[in-house]
Structure formats: structure tokens, C-alpha cells
Amino acid sequence: MLSKKSLLIVLFSSLLLLGTYFVPIWKIDLNAPQYPEGIGLRIWLNKITGVHEFDLDNINKLNHYIGMKTIEPDSIPELKIMPYIIAFFVIFGLTVFLLKRKRLIYVWCFLMIVILTIGLYDYYVWEYDYGHNLNPNAPIKVPGMTYQPPLLGTKQLLNMRTTSLPDIGSYLIGISLIGMVGVLIYEKKKKIKLLSVASLLLIAIGCSKSPQPIKYGAADCDYCNMTVTDPKFGSEMVTDKGKILFFDSIECLAAYELTNNPEAYSLWVSDYTNPGELMPADKAIFLLSDGIKSPMALGLAAFPDRNKSENARKTYNGKIISWEDVKKYVKREWNL
């Protein structure tokens, strides 16, 4: 779907083509000593006119002397077709505006470029025919001389300096095409920008080194592979790369650090008195007691401060130890 800004540009670009019905699309100017004010032709969608009232007649008279064909607008089929072609692009553009489909703009631009290419080629062929297929009985014959006007630019033909350039109508068509292409570029950049923002967010999330909530009953222990179920003992490791590892007990967390030697960024254990609440392992106070039924049976529980651990010891008995003591204990008990 196109944005509001893009739709306005599509609408403007489409309606802009209507201006080509009221202005010339191409101009040919001739300058020679006998015409100090210059003479010229203006090619419209549906007609060819002179710059001045009698310019077309005068140019046809000059053409007669050198054997070129008479320019008869009514006999040129392109002048009957071009108004319908422009109408097609106006209606097509308005259809894009109503349907808000970006893919249709690609079709619109492709067809416009094809038509413009064919139009320029047809114009070249038309000029070639007029400039090369000369009447052999012409009053003035210059051996080897042809009179094809330039497709774009200026060319000297005998004593005539002939200039052929796009006129206002062509500029309107060009602006319309640029507008449509601009919409495609704008929508493309907008999509890339959105994708970039989304990618950065995903990278930021993926690279986060904060602990994540443990999904009890769903997460598996990264050391013993058992399901993590008890929030009083759930533990967690965040690696230097931001990877999150879950453990069902304090002893599994210690054993994993001892045996796998990971580049741990932080270690987290659950508060026994506030199940599910994680705290840094190196800040926690641990109670080692046979009265504590930890998932892997080593009797380890963590507390946020010494007072709570002392209160727990009054209930379960045992020994208060640090995180370093926990690792030594697990290493010894499990022969790691």
C-alpha cells in the first residue's frame, strides 16, 4: 500500500499529463538570412502548427524546392493516436491512485518508457523519410545532400540553421515520469528504513546482556537437560555474546561454569525467599543444608543478604557460604 504522500504525487503526476493537450510537445526552429525573425514548427499531440501564421506554408514551399515531402498534419497517423495514449496514462495513473498499489506504478513507468522510446524512434524515422526520400524532379538538387533535421540539437542544412528540441509538453511528460519513479524510490527507501529499524531492534534484543525471565515448566536445564520447574532454585547464565542459558539448580549453574568454561558475562540465581526473583550469583549469600531439597540434591539455596540466610539457617541448619565456596563444593561432590 502506498503512503499518503506517495498517493498525492501519483495523483499530481497523472493529472499533469492533461497539460500536454494544451501545449506543444516538440519544436523545430529554422533560422536563415531570408527569415530574420525565424520560422518554425510546433508539434502537438494532435496537430502541427507554425510558430507564425504562415510558417507551415512557407516551410512546405521551401521543401518543395529541395524535393522534400509536403507536411500534411491530417495524413500523419501518430497525431491521431497520441491523444489516446496520453489519456490512457492519465486513467492508468488515477487507477493507481484509487487502488494504492505500488506494483501498478512499475507497470505505468515501464509502459511510459517504452512509449517514449518508440515515440522518439518513430520521430527519427519520420525525419529520415522527409530528409532522404526526395523528389528527383525537385527544382534544386544538391548531389549527395540530405535534409534530415536533427533529432535533438542543431544542424546546418544549406543556409538553414535547424534546431529540434522538446517543448513544454515533453517536459510535462518528463516531470510526470520522474514523479512516478520518485514514488518508487521513496517507497523503496521507506521499506529499507523500516527493515533497518526492525533489524536493529532484533539485533539489540538478541545482543541484550540482561537476564531473561525463566519459563518454568518449559525451559530445559543446559547442564542436566531436566525441565526447570522450581522457581526457588532456577538459575541463569548470560554469555559474553548475549546468549541465555537456563539451569534448574544452583549446583547445575556452578557445574556448567566449571566444566564448559564459557565466557560468562553474568550469573544469576533465584532468591529462595522470593521465588523467581533473580539476583547476581556473586552478590548472593548461600546456605548449604541437608534440610534444603534442591533439584539436584546438593542442598544449596541463595539469599539476597546475610540476615535472610541466617534466618533460613535457624530453620534448616547448615553452613553459610559464598559463590566461590559453592563452586568448590560442587566440584568436590561431583568430581568435576
Q: What is the pLDDT of residue 261?
A: 67
Beta strand 153-157 with 278-280: parallel, antiparallel or unpaired? unpaired
CA distance 283 to 322: 9
Taking residues 19-48, report their average pLDDT: 92
Least confident range from 255-269, 289-303, 309-323: namely 255-269
- pLDDT of 205 over the 60 cut: no
| Domain positions in the chain | 4-188, 235-334
- pLDDT of 269 over the 90 cut: yes
Sign of torsion, CA 226 231 235 241?
Answer: positive
The pTM (predicted TM-score) of the whole model is: 0.58
Residue 156's pLDDT band, with cuts at 50, 70 and 90, is confident
Number of H helices, E strands in the chain: 8, 12
Q: What is the pLDDT of residue 336?
A: 85
Q: Rounded to the nearest 10 degrees, how much is the dihedral formed by the CA atoms of 194, 200, 203, 207?
A: -150
Residue whose grid cell is 526447570: 228
Say which residues have a Cβ less than 8 Å from residue 206's Cβ, sequence separation at least 6. 242
Class of domain 4-188: mainly alpha
Residue 183's pLDDT band, with cuts at 50, 70 and 90, is very high
Q: What is the pLDDT of residue 199?
A: 61
